[in-house]
Chain A
Amino acid sequence: MNEPNKRISVPSEAKAGDIVEIKTLIMHPMHNGYKFTTQGTRIPVNIIDEFVCTFNDEEVVRVDLRTGISANPYVSFFARVDVSGTFRFTWHDDKGPVYEETADIVVV
């Protein structure tokens, strides 16, 4: 499968101790297993079941997503930054693939 599109919103710079808002979205159908194709076959469950965000390898947020999350799962939260560093975002597909994205922030 192709790498899905992802959208990340992280401020490029912040002051030490700032609380920044982070918004993330990944394109994924989040099949809940209740839909059928036009041929009448059930589409099996296929979701992103875990999302993790780390800042300089320290975990910020971990989300356990289920089928009750909308397609193209959107997750937004806040992080406190004291030093410059890298946010790493990881999405785990329940069929195995893991998608990653990073964003840098500079503390001025």
Chain B
Amino acid sequence: MLTRRRLIGTSVALAAVALAGAPVQAASDPEADEVDYETARQNLLGDQAAIPGGIAITLPSVAGSGNSVPLTISVEADPAAGPVRLHVFAPRNPRPHVCSVTLGPRAGKAEFSTKIRLNGTQELIAFAELPGGVLRTASKTIDVTIGACESLEFNP
């Protein structure tokens, strides 16, 4: 809901961003992140069409707990030719945007690993922004037995 307080807060934040000339998506805002997947993708990548393929997602096919799922993303690109940006989305998470990674020219490979939280069985989606302005995408389905956000409501 748009309240006066939040509106003022947002204006101040936007003004600060404009003054600093920093990218809009620099700081994380948990409330603004709480949107559906389509909106999250739109906010981050706009309307740009993505070409499927060129990304390998390494993710277990079944995870007992969604609290910590190992994820590796490997892109068919050489970061030495220009920075490669990766974006990871988990559409069924309350905040679908999981992380964004910028691999600079010093990165030896366009590969990155981390551990993520997943709220239930879903199709993980990854995007890669390549130096030539090309956007690639890939997805992988994972079965999650117990999600990471089980205690959404207080339930003693």
Contact = CB atoms under 8 A, between A and B. Distances in A.
Interface residues of B, number: 42
A64 B115 contact: no
Contacts, number: 126
B99 interface: yes
Contacts of B25: 64
A35 B116 CA distance: 17
Majority SS at the chain A contact face:
strand
A94 B28 CA distance: 8
Contacts of B118: 68
A10 B149 CA distance: 33
A80 B88 CA distance: 24
A36 B150 CA distance: 11
B28 A70 contact: no
Interface of A: 19-20, 32-36, 38, 40, 42, 45, 47, 49, 55, 58-71, 73-80, 94
The 9 closest A-B pairs by CB, nearest first: A19-B108, A68-B98, A78-B108, A80-B108, A70-B68, A64-B100, A70-B115, A76-B113, A49-B28
